[in-house]
Structure 1
Amino acid sequence: MNNQLHLEAFVVVGTIAEQARSEALIAALGAATPPPTTTTREPSHLARRFAGLWENMDDDLASDDDLLLKSEKDLHDSARRNDLNRITELLRKGVDVNAKSYTNRTALHLAAGKGQEAAVKLLLNHHAVVDDEDKFGMNALLLAAWFGHLNVVQLLICAGAKAACKNKNGLNIFHCAAQKGSVDILQFIIENFENLSLDKPDKSNQTATHLAAEHGFAETVAYLISCGASCNITDNEGNLPLHMATRKGHLDAIREIVTKTRDINAKNSEGQTALHLAALGGFPRCAQFLLSFGCDINSRNRKGMKPLHCAAQESREEVAKVLIDGGADVDGLDDMGSTAAHLTILSNGTGIMKLIIEANGDLNLLDNNHQSPLHLAAEHSHHNIADLILASGVNLKLLDKQGKSSLDIAARGNHINLVDMIIKADHFYNWEQKNRDVDQESWDLQTVSFCQERRAESKHMRWVLWHLATQLLKPEQWKELAVYWQFTAAHIHAIEQQWTGPKSYKEHGHRLLLIWFHGILMAKENPIKALYEALSAIDCQVVAEHVRRKANGEPESPRKCMLS
């Protein structure tokens, strides 16, 4: 672009110079008549801009990607910072007051957008075009309204700016003022241009009220409503101003709109009510307020999702609590057969899972893939949430469409810790079935967890179990212990799926012993005595005696077992 402009300029300058030399030659020779006139091309706009190059050869383009000369760029910058002396100086030198940047913006656009009232006056006095539009269709008036400059808006209107203008997206002066919360500009336009409609939509079919609500300007919303603006116009996506305010969590705007909205349970094109949007956005106060006005707590969107599904999907714990406390259906199914519990697994929302469990949600319900929440937790390896589910007591025999249990899913994914947790739970459930009647009251007070045992008081015994598994047991003996302790074939198979090489049996044995140890601690039994009896039962008397000594140790030994 730079080279092209230079070329065109020098063509014009060269033509002028050639004509001057011809006239001088004629005068010197005393010719009676001038030579025939040569028809020349009218210089283009860009060429005329270069006509002063002989006087100022330094006035090149401001940058390679701009259309402005340096002097014109200087004018724009001066207008932006309200430097009246520099603007006057540049205009006196003949700089084009209407020179446009690559976005088609003039100095007037920039001064108006910055609210530089004095610069706007000066530019208008030098014949700046008041209604020139940039590449977005924004003129100086719309920019002044967009940035909330009332004085500049009034000045431009007095200079002949058209109040009924709009940009390429259909935004008019009401839209521009509303999105900024400029009540003063709205009031000025409404009082002086009664023929302009407040509810004129843009190309998205949004009105000024939509934009004021979306940006949370409650005072602006109230003023528009008081002037007759409607709260019941839907945009191209079916959203009312109520939807727009709720999506962003603007409670004060919601308060202004809700009583003027024809149907508080109105749905947008996705079937979402305002309560759905409050749940998705995580706005508990908005949700509480909408519920107090009768918003349907179990309304379904186009995917069959209720507000609680939305809160679970986005892990919005505070909103979920509001909904559950308000009576939301914790076991409701969406079109995929998912409950809120299924969806909170995907977002790993342990807090919401606790709320669902406390509300007695059914964690054995299967979705359309015949997967329970535990299946999903096993698939995604969410340990904490799986622990909550297992501690609540669920059916571990449920199978998905492929005939896989949650244990199978965890083992297939090589989620070792989850495999061990599920086996612990299954082993514990069986023990609980037989022993629940023993000391029922103290048992109910016990906190159940199936995570790895890491307490300091069990550290020595865990070392003894590691020593037993890695140094003393032969390859198949860990399985004999598993059978003795009534672990199932499925349990053994799941443990065996972990492969670490030819000596994997050591890791398998260690895992089994830790799983067993967890159950012993839960049952409050003596692990040394129980382990000695089990090793003796599989004909490992020597190992049993060795382990007993290791576990008990000498009185002065720092490794003395604290559980014996």
Structure 2
Amino acid sequence: MKKRMAGVGLLMVGLLAGCTTAVPSPSSPVSPGASQAAPAFAAPSSASPVPSSFAAQSTPPKLSPEARMETDRLLILAAKANDPARVRELIAAGGNVNAKDGIQDSAFLYAGAEGFNEVLQLTLAAGADVRSINRYGGTALIPASEHGHTETVRILIAAGVPVDHVNNLGWTAMQEAILLNNGGPNQQDVVRQLLAAGANPDIRDPQGRTALQNAERLGFTEIAALIRG
């Protein structure tokens, strides 16, 4: 009887051994054809590379001098094409919004002069030098005032562009707003903004005329009234 029970026990042990799958230890090699389930919540490895899509974008990449020059050139072209999406990409790629081309235009200066407000806001957010000057020795505010870009003038004044800067022609933003346009509603709004920002209407042009004298001489009665007021 004891021999029979021992035999049954050995048989059960053999059956159980045949139904058990061996689990390789962490140090055991896994055959090329074998699959190994990953844990549901694996702890991240500090040595794992961070995907590029999650890389920090706040710091512009370091560029070689040649790459920087090309990126700056493309940035100015994108600004002149009024392409905010491309401008944003090139700023993120390390483009310098204060870099100038052969005729002394920067992305900031050109956007301000032409009233490309979305591009202008991008350059200001990227650290545009609000005191920078163009080939005529003028700030971005002067041509913006000349062209009657009322919203652009508002943006530039708020950004801190000097309102009484005198360019190489001897004109301030207010003088150009009067002398180089038609005295219409946009020019009136520009003059109103400049006066509210503290611009001095008594700065004279090379002929010795004040902004008021030029407005009266050209028949811009509304602008003259604004200055008198």
Same fold? TM cut 0.5: yes
| Pairing 1:49-60 to 2, within 5 Å after superposition | none
Give the conservation status (yes or no) of the 8 Å contact 2:136–2:167. Answer: yes
Counting aligned pairs with the same residue, the percent is 26
Could you say which structure has the greater relative contact order, defined with CA pairs below 8 angstroms and 6 or more residues apart? 2
Partner of residue 360 from structure 1, selected from 177, 186, 198 = 198
Q: Cα distance, 1:366 vs. partner?
A: 0.9
* Runs of 4+, deviation exceeding 4 Å: none
Give TM-score scaled by structure 2 length.
Answer: 0.64
- Verify: 1:379 aligned to 2:212, yes or no: no
Give the conservation status (yes or no) of the 8 Å contact 2:75–2:95. Answer: no
Give the conservation status (yes or no) of the 8 Å contact 2:146–2:173. Answer: yes
Q: Cα distance, 1:261 vs. partner?
A: 4.1
Distance in structure 2 (CA, Å) of the matches to 1:351 and 1:386: 12
Partner of residue 243 from structure 1, selected from 55, 76, 89 = 76
Structure 2, gaps ≥5 residues long: 1-65
Distance in structure 1 (CA, Å) of the matches to 2:192 and 2:138: 20
**Deviation larger for 373-382 or 310-319:** 373-382
| Pairing 1:403-418 to 2, within 5 Å after superposition | none
Change (3 A) 1:375 1:270: farther
Aligned to 2:226: 388
* Larger proportion of helix: 1
Q: Cα distance, 1:278 vs. partner?
A: 0.6
Aligned to 1:232: 69
1:226-277 superposed Cα distances (whole Å, 9 cap, x missing partner):
xxx956339xxxx811111112321111000113345321112221211111
1:173-225 superposed Cα distances (whole Å, 9 cap, x missing partner):
xxxxxxxxxxxxxxxxxxxxxxxxxxxxxxxxxxxxxxxxxxxxxxxxxxxxx
Aligned to 2:111: 278
Give the conservation status (yes or no) of the 8 Å contact 1:242–1:261. Answer: no
Q: What amino acid sits opposite 1:379 in the alignment?
A: R
Give the conservation status (yes or no) of the 8 Å contact 1:249–1:281. Answer: no
Q: Counterpart of 1:233 in 2: which secondary structure? A: helix
Distance in structure 1 (CA, Å) of the matches to 2:146 and 2:74: 25
Aligned to 1:204: none
Give the conservation status (yes or no) of the 8 Å contact 2:113–2:141. Answer: no
Give the conservation status (yes or no) of the 8 Å contact 2:138–2:166. Answer: yes
Q: Cα distance, 1:292 vs. partner?
A: 1.0
| Pairing 1:110-509 to 2, within 5 Å after superposition | 230=67, 232-233=69-70, 240-345=73-178, 346-347=180-181, 348=183, 349-391=187-229
Distance in structure 2 (CA, Å) of the matches to 1:276 and 1:264: 9
Give the conservation status (yes or no) of the 8 Å contact 1:265–1:274. Answer: yes
1:55-84 superposed Cα distances (whole Å, 9 cap, x missing partner):
xxxxxxxxxxxxxxxxxxxxxxxxxxxxxx
Q: Counterpart of 2:70 in 1: which secondary structure? A: coil
Distance in structure 2 (CA, Å) of the matches to 1:367 and 1:263: 34
Distance in structure 2 (CA, Å) of the matches to 1:268 and 1:381: 39
Distance in structure 2 (CA, Å) of the matches to 1:247 and 1:373: 31
Structure 1, gaps ≥5 residues long: 1-228, 392-564
Give the conservation status (yes or no) of the 8 Å contact 1:364–1:373. Answer: yes
Q: What amino acid sits opposite 2:211 in the alignment?
A: P
Task: Choose 1 or 2 for highest CA Rg.
Answer: 1
Q: What amino acid sits opposite 2:110 in the alignment?
A: L
Give the conservation status (yes or no) of the 8 Å contact 1:275–1:295. Answer: yes
**Deviation larger for 258-267 or 353-362:** 258-267
Give the conservation status (yes or no) of the 8 Å contact 2:192–2:226. Answer: yes
Distance in structure 1 (CA, Å) of the matches to 2:75 and 2:223: 35
